[in-house]
Amino acid sequence: MREREIEEHRRLFRERFGEGEEPGLFFAPGRVNLIGEHTDYNGGLVLPLACEQGTFLFVRKKEDYPMLLLSSRNPHMVKISPGHLHPAGDWADYVRAVLHALREEMCDPPPFDALYCGDLPLEAGLSSSASLEVATAIAAASLAGTELSGEEAARAAWRAESEFVGVPCGIMDQYAVSLARSSHLLLLDCASLSYRHIPYNLPGVSILVGHTGVRRTLAGSPYQLRRRECEEALRIICGVVGERACLGRVTEEELAAAAPHLPETLLRRARHVVEESRRVARAARSLQEGDVESLGNLLNLSHASLRDLYEVSCPELDALQEISLAQRGVWGCRMTGAGFGGCVVALIDGNAVPAYLEKVPSLYRTATGRDPSFTVTLPGGRARRLKGEGSG
């Protein structure tokens, strides 16, 4: 969002919540996963980045309940009274959930008024919910006088989403939003939660995100079924090769040994996870070496595996991936996020972007009948306070 729009929202905050102390302003980015899909809940590796779009949050502490929450995407003000943190089935459930998670193990935020706005598309596979949760966590904790570490913010947001909102997600999105570093990717081992920042060492290469126009949510998608299939595959593999903590710790040799014992579908799911995690390790190396060609190939292999072995792509994602790959200057392209809709991510020569944007929308529209949208992003920074004391 531009400075001008941020100022407009600051005015809106004052209009709706009254003059008084300057509200604090917090920002949390969305995330684009470059590679390592459906590996996080299997204890594998992931390599996401924070995008430049995200959630902006104005907050001001107040003396008394009810708290008032406003979102620029929704005309209705939400009221939260003390003790009313159970889900109400609206967007503010994410806020209630974060407050709940903070209270259970970190701090006790005071009541506040808040205005949420931002430029991240919803249900696009770019972690708009993790972005909103992490923004809420760092803002609410700071009103309580607590500076959360990146890990603490990620954990509060993850607990909020998985335990309170009830979406059985992995940890990647919340970690990426809370721990990303500008001009770097985040190499995260989802079993040990250890991570490294890898410099985005590809001069002249842009990260292009293309939205298929197909919205998707995790709830109601086969996401949970995939998780169960992976658990079942792991159980069978452990019976053959001995105890392993997660599929991300199974080697290709061990998988080959267990293969005759696995039903065909489970073998495909497990192969995707084991190979994808290795691809992430190779991708991190390619990035360090500035080898865009091999990185691009890894993205393409990841897409094929998600389409054919893990079966979480859809015709629109496949069409946009194929059309993108056929364009000049595109090194690699894959679906990003949970799948079933949402976005692709492509690595493209910066000077080829105008021609891509000229040709691809109409090719994609002809192939699918849908309107795509595109953004070019660089790896952005983590969730943070932008302005104001906010701690009242």
Of residues 80, 172, 246, 292, which one binds ligand GLA by CB under 6 A?
172
Nearer to ligand GLA, 173 or 254 (CB): 173
* 200 alpha carbon, distance to own chain's centre: 18
Q: Which stretch binds ligand GLA (CB under 6 A): 143-151, 165-173, 233-241, 301-309?
A: 165-173
Window 306-345: residues binding ligand GLA (CB under 6 A): 337-338
Contact 337, 187 (CB under 8 A): no
Residues whose CB is less than 8 angstroms from the CB of residue 337 and which lie 6 or more positions away in sequence, other chains included = 33, 37, 124, 125, 126, 127, 343
Tell me which stretch binds ligand GLA (CB under 6 A): 106-114, 167-175, 203-211, 281-289: 167-175
Among 37, 52, 133, 152, contact with ligand GLA (rule: CB under 6 A): 37
Q: DSSP states of 79-147 as a string? A: EE-TT--S--SSTTHHHHHHHHHHHHHT--PPPEEEEEEE-PPTTSSS-HHHHHHHHHHHHHHHHTT--
Active-site residue list: 173
Residue 152 or 173 with smaller CB distance to ligand GLA: 173
Q: According to CB under 6 A, which one of 13, 17, 41, 164 is a site residue for ligand GLA?
A: 41
**Residues across the chain:** 392
Is the distance from CB of 257 to CB of 241 less than 8 angstroms? yes
Closer residue to ligand GLA in complex, CB, 118/390: 118
366/138 Cα distance (integer angstroms): 44
Q: Name the maximum alpha-carbon separation found in the chain.
A: 69
Chain CA centroid to CA 222, Å: 18
Q: Using the rule CB under 6 A, which residue among 13, 24, 35, 40 binds ligand GLA?
A: 40
Q: How many residues bind ligand GLA (CB under 6 A)?
A: 10
Q: Which of 32, 49, 169, 323 binds ligand GLA (CB under 6 A)?
A: 169
Looking up tokens 């084991």 gives: 274
Q: Are 76 and 16 in contact (CB under 8 A)?
A: no
Smaller CB separation from ligand GLA, 52 or 276: 276
CB of 39 to ligand GLA, least distance (A): 7
Distance CA 42, CA 269 (A): 11
Nearest residue (CB) to ligand GLA, 172 versus 233: 172
Binding of ligand GLA by 189 (CB under 6 A): no
For ligand GLA, the binding residues (CB under 6 A) are 37-38, 40-41, 169-170, 172-173, 337-338
